[in-house]
Structure 1
Amino acid sequence: MSESHICPALRTDEADLGELERDTWSPLHAVQPRPKPPYDSFFDSNHRPEDLLVAEDADGTVIGYIRLIAPTPLACNRHVRQIQGLAVAERARGRGIGRALLRAAFAEARRQGALRMTLRVLGHNKPARALYESEGFAVEGVLPGEFYLDGQYVDDVMMGRSLTA
């Protein structure tokens, strides 16, 4: 990843993150309809700045993000973090930013005391699945035909990996 860095998100990143979210929307990964004006805020009580890491270009422009959260509020599940969003700007793809965001998320999850990481990905999102598999994620479950998107039924694939290896 040349001439960019990863850092915690700030509340002041909200407009850039919202724009990135809209620009990267695709039926390949989204289960919600394409956003339309007026746009909702990127941050809310379930999507806080402290849950995100952002990738920035050398000039400070946000070019990617990853959202990392505890999957439940249960004490017995505190050792797990879940990725609930990963996006890289089209103009920044092919530079290893998605991989760098994943690796930064692994480090942050370990710093928080997590031993395991999980995510959900749509079955037809082959590029994302290949990236996740190359970073140690394995398919741990599939909900066949869980979503009806763009005229077809799509599987919801659960993936996970250890953070201790």
Structure 2
Amino acid sequence: MSESHIRPALSTDDAALGRLDRETWSPLHSVQPRQEPPFDPFFDSNHRPDDILVAEDADGSIVGYIRLVPPSPLACHQHVRQIQGLAVSGSARGRGTGRALVRAACREARRQGAVRITLRVLGHNKPARALYESEGFAVEGVLPGEFWLDGRYADDVLMGRSL
């Protein structure tokens, strides 16, 4: 297993992260339609470099990212962080990159003062659910049939854990 280096995203990572996002798009995990050209920038006012951790291979290429944000702007909600995106390139799958990103997100959430971390995952995304469960996340709620994706209804599974 090759270790990836995890670091905060830089604004100069925009193009590489956009490519990775498009290359890894799948109805297994995305509720958004596949992006078509012209492509929007990866970073915008709601998706800032400060919210992203990236995984780099030894050659410096970006092979994964995780987005970690407060779940709302409410002051009473600032003790929680939420994972709102995780992607790993096909070349880095099976090497522990996703696990390293989840662990780094938990460390970063603790560093930011959070005591809880949550996420939402599609019910049919068994690989992601298994990863999160192996890292201590538990199902805390299910919204049955919340999305119509790829010709079928998909559950929205809410997961969380203490830090």
TM-score, L = length of structure 1: 0.97
Aligned partner of residue 36 in structure 2, secondary structure: coil
- How far off is 1:80 after superposition? 0.1
Match of 1:66?
66
Match of 1:114?
114
Mapped to 2, the partners of 1:73 and 1:118 lie a distance apart of 15
- How far off is 1:2 after superposition? 2.2
Aligned partner of residue 144 in structure 2, secondary structure: strand
Mapped to 1, the partners of 2:119 and 2:21 lie a distance apart of 18
- How far off is 1:109 after superposition? 0.4
Aligned partner of residue 105 in structure 1, secondary structure: helix
Match of 2:93?
93
TM-score, L = length of structure 2: 0.98
Mapped to 2, the partners of 1:46 and 1:19 lie a distance apart of 18
1:114-135 C-alpha deviation (Å, 9 max, x unpaired):
0000000000000000000000
Unaligned runs of 5+ in 2: none
Mapped to 2, the partners of 1:127 and 1:59 lie a distance apart of 27
Correspondences of 1:9-158 after superposition (within 5 Å) = 9-158=9-158
Aligned residues: 163
Q: Letter of the aligned partner of 1:87 in structure 2?
A: A
CA RMSD of aligned residues (A): 0.7
Q: Letter of the aligned partner of 2:132 in structure 1?
A: Y
Mapped to 1, the partners of 2:111 and 2:124 lie a distance apart of 32
Aligned partner of residue 109 in structure 2, secondary structure: helix
Mapped to 2, the partners of 1:99 and 1:14 lie a distance apart of 23
Q: Letter of the aligned partner of 2:89 in structure 1?
A: A
Q: Letter of the aligned partner of 1:135 in structure 2?
A: E
Q: Could you say if the C-alpha distance between residues 35 and 109 of structure 1 is closer, same or farther in structure 2, counting changes exceeding 3 Å?
A: same
- How far off is 1:59 after superposition? 1.1
Q: Letter of the aligned partner of 1:106 in structure 2?
A: C
Percentage identity across aligned positions? Answer: 79
Q: Letter of the aligned partner of 2:160 in structure 1?
A: G
Structure 1 ranges of 4+ moved more than 2 A: 1-4
Mapped to 1, the partners of 2:99 and 2:151 lie a distance apart of 31
